[in-house]
Amino acid sequence: MEKFTKLTGVAAPLPILNIDTDMIIPKQFLKTIKRTGLGKNLFEEMRYTGDGKENPDFVLNRPAYRKASILVTGANFGCGSSREHAPWALADFGIRCVIAASFADIFYSNCFKNGILPIRLDQADVDKLMDDAQRGANAVVSIDLDKQEITGPDGGCIRFDIDPFRKHCLLNGLDDIGLTLQKQPKIEDFESRRKLEQPWL
């Protein structure tokens, strides 16, 4: 998993409450087990018209936000089903951080497992960043995970809280498999002893 240390990028405003995982990546795209290729279908029903053309009014289709790496959005983001395809789609598009007042628990956990930093802030701070994000190409925000700080376009700083273990995992690029592989010498030692002690297994 790619490490998350510092991120500087354009923040896209998506001021909608209760965005569920089906809005993030609709059910018809859940057939794949690959983590790549879903970015083109991110927010499919808002991003495209019925005939498959881009909706020019949707934020990620506007020139200033096509390469956004940060999403500032409404509360209860990621509610609905527990599909891990939702953070896969965000990451494949290029979103590395989502900022909201609250997240659905399973989506929140899935973000950390896929190299995305979900930041919970008081609504007043989200509103300030939403206002910053509406500046288009000038909506450049910097996030320092180690310092737990967000710096806006005007230099203003907002601190955020994060669980220390999840912070450690992101800073070091450790997903569940990476965490397990850290124990590889102990696993190999156990397997070697088991073969000697229980050769019939």
Query: What pLDDT, in 10s, does the model give residues 160-201?
Result: 999 999 999 999 998 776 766 666 777 777 777 878 788 877
Helix (H, G, I), strand (E, B) or coil at 107: helix
Whether 191 is covered by a domain: the verdict is no
Closest alpha carbon to 151 in 15, 12, 8: 8
pLDDT number for residue 49: 93
Contact 131, 111 (CB under 8 A): no
Query: What pLDDT, in 10s, does the model give residues 90-101?
Result: 999 999 999 999
Tokens 């498999």: give the residue: 177
Whether 140 is covered by a domain: the verdict is yes
User: What domain count does the chain have?
Assistant: 1
pLDDT number for residue 200: 78
The boundaries of the domain holding residue 19 are 6-173
Whether 193 is covered by a domain: the verdict is no
pLDDT number for residue 121: 98
- Half-sphere exposure (Cβ direction) of 171: Cα atoms closer than 13 Å: 13
Whether 201 is covered by a domain: the verdict is no
Both structure tokens of 85: 């395809």
Which CATH number covers residue 45?
Answer: 3.20.19.10
- For 89, the enclosing helix (H) or strand (E) is helix 85-93
Whether 180 is covered by a domain: the verdict is no
Contact 125, 158 (CB under 8 A): yes
Whether 99 is covered by a domain: the verdict is yes
Whether 88 is covered by a domain: the verdict is yes
pLDDT number for residue 182: 67
Tokens 């979103």: give the residue: 95
Strands 149-151 and 157-159: antiparallel
Closest alpha carbon to 63 in 71, 74, 54, 72: 54
pLDDT tens track, the chain, 201 positions: 899 999 999 999 999 999 999 999 999 998 888 888 999 999 999 999 989 899 999 999 999 999 999 999 999 999 998 899 999 999 999 999 999 999 999 999 999 999 999 999 999 999 999 999 998 888 999 999 999 999 999 999 999 999 999 999 999 998 776 766 666 777 777 777 878 788 877
Whether 160 is covered by a domain: the verdict is yes
Strands 140-144 and 6-14: antiparallel
